[in-house]
């Protein structure tokens, strides 16, 4: 276990804060559609339920991983890698949905691309930063 007495590098500061903020935003946005009123669901357009549920639930994992990274815990690297892999699998399943003619919003493609990029970057940077310690 890494103790908190070691100073956090700038990479850890950045990726942990990005993970936490991104997680909180994901929970808020997904929760508004899933748990909100009909107006929120209508505003979401042709959302894909399994993608929305995945993103909402994964938001909690984002926050948990961000806290773990902030505390410089090695398990947080594994969680970040798992999150990145799960996003890629969900994005692929979304691709199958689109290819099969399912309704979707272009913003879902953009959001999933952004999630993939962010979490792949977080996982790589976390592995590099915590491996050095």
- What is the rounded distance in angstroms from the CA atom of residue 83 to the CA atom of residue 30? 17
pLDDT tens for each residue of 64-109: 999 999 999 999 999 999 999 999 999 999 999 999 999 999 999 9
- What is the rounded distance in angstroms from the CA atom of residue 83 to the CA atom of residue 118? 11
Instruction: Report pLDDT for 2.
Output: 46
pTM confidence score: 0.89
Contact, 26 vs 62, CB < 8 A? yes
Instruction: Report pLDDT for 129.
Output: 86
Extract the runs of DSSP E, i.e. beta strands, from 11-133: none
The mean pLDDT value for 20-24 works out to 98
- What is the rounded distance in angstroms from the CA atom of residue 96 to the CA atom of residue 86? 15
Q: How far is CA 45 from the centre of its chain?
A: 21
Structural domain spans, the chain: 15-131
């Amino acid at each position: 276990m890494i103790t908190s007495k070691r100073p956090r590098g700038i990479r850890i500061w950045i990726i942990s804060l990005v993970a936490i903020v991104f997680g909180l935003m994901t929970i808020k946005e997904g929760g508004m559609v899933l748990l909100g009123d009909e107006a929120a669901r209508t505003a979401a357009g042709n959302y894909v339920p399994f993608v929305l549920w995945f993103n909402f639930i994964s938001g909690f994992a984002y926050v948990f991983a961000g806290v773990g990274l902030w505390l410089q815990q090695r398990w947080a690297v594994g969680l970040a890698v798992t999150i990145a892999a799960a996003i890629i699998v969900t994005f692929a399943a979304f691709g199958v949905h689109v290819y099969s003619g399912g309704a979707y919003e272009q913003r879902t493609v953009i959001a999933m691309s952004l999630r993939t990029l962010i979490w792949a970057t977080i996982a790589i940077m976390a592995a590099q930063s915590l491996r050095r310690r």
